[in-house]
Chain A
Amino acid sequence: MNTATIDARHLLCPLPVIRTQDAVADCRPGDHLQVVCTDPGVVHDIPAWCRVHGHEVYAIERSDNEIMIGIQVGEAD
């Protein structure tokens, strides 16, 4: 299992979702992805995107003005 981090700070939705989508495309099932964001909209949009694509959000952590969303990549098509 690999873990990667994406810096999506100062991007407004849907760009953090698009960056997540692009990164997931390079991952294998079971890999972890940590997306660091500042737009509060990501706490709705990234989990919604994960739900429709079959990935699991295992953590949403807030600190100061940043939000980290942890994703476990699901099975490929």
Chain B
Amino acid sequence: MTEQRKAVALISGGLDSFLAARTVMDQGVHVEGINFYTGFCVEGHTHAIREKDRARPKRNNALWVAEQLGIRLHIVDIIEEYMDVVINPQHGYGTHLNPCLDCKVFMVNKAREWIVEHDFDFIITGEVVGQRPMSQRKHTMTMVARDSGAGDRLVRPLCAQNLPPTLPEQKGWLERDRMYGFSGRSRRPQMALAAKYGFEDYAQPAGGCCFLTDRQYSIKLEDLWKTRGRREYDLDDIMLLKVGRHLRPRADLKLIVGREEGENRFLEGYRRRFVHMLPASHVGPLVLLDGNTDTNAIELAARLTARFSKGRDAGQVTVEINDRDGNSRMLAVRPMPADEIPADWYL
């Protein structure tokens, strides 16, 4: 009797990983999915936080893809281990703080560890030669296979015909001519294949699925490292960078200003960690103060808090100031006029 071969597919939640897994499943291989959570995933968080996004249908795209495929999905928390990838990428960053090549090596290596632990035979990714400028060029794809330790147990079904035969092909577990030779940035072959499978309503994230590819987010992360004097972060740090307006009016003070009710509610969860303020005489945002909270900083922050409240045009706004121990006091201030806020205060 032929042994049932097993593969794990890296499932991002996009079209390519769906198609790659499906192509291998069609050849009789048992496939399960794996999805890595780095903390920088765009998926989920911002939708959960922002009020304006609440009308959108919420779904975890990786889970949705797994359901469409009828496979199990293992979601793996790699937040701690991933820090070294972000802070010390051996192959450097992309346009912003995105360490795409190191990230791919890291994730394929984690998948390699997983198949060893679970007695699976090979790994599937939805990569396509030439599709991404950093991590999906032919020579970097060879490097990912080598440096991750996956070697010829790494199969890219969508472009397998453009790459050397892998172990599953050599062993006859997979037929090369039942995989594909896609290349380049065009999405048409994938869309045609999706249509063949009747796969619709798949996620097409316009800005990618990782906050590290986002310019503004990267600026805020650089600022965090610079002001702390060391390149490190924890999960709360990187979550807070996704939320609110961030202003740095002084080198030693940053304000995180909720932009709407959903963000204010989220920031409330950090009240014990930060000195925070909110307008008492007018409707307005919850504001967290990160850094020095001396008398001058408090007054400056209160004037900015007033600026972002409904009392921005009033002569005076009363602001409630709360310390980390839950003590509060009131401070009446004149809202800071817009033209007194330099553009470079905004991160």
**A binding-site residues for B, Cβ under 8 Å:** 10, 12-15, 17-18, 21, 39-41, 44-45, 48-49, 51-53
Contact = CB atoms under 8 A, between A and B. Distances in A.
Contacts, number: 63
Given A14-B60, A40-B48, A44-B60, A52 B67 contact: yes
Given A12-B44, A45-B60, 16 more contacts: A12-B49, A14-B35, A14-B44, A14-B75, A15-B37, A40-B54, A41-B44, A44-B59, A45-B59, A48-B59, A48-B60, A48-B64, A48-B67, A52-B66, A52-B70, A52-B73
User: Range of interface residues on chain B?
Assistant: 20 to 34
Question: Could you tell me the dominant secondary structure of chain A's interface residues?
Answer: helix
B63 A45 contact: yes
B184 to A, nearest CB: 32
A12 B79 CA distance: 14
Interface of B: 35, 37, 41, 43-45, 47-49, 54, 58-60, 63-64, 66-67, 70-77, 239, 269
A10 B77 CA distance: 16
B77 A18 contact: yes
Nearest to B79: A15
Contacts of A12: 44-45, 48-49, 239
B49 A52 contact: no
A41 B71 contact: no
A48 B74 CA distance: 12
Contacts of B64: 48
Given A40-B58, A48-B60, A13 B45 contact: yes
Nearest to B118: A77
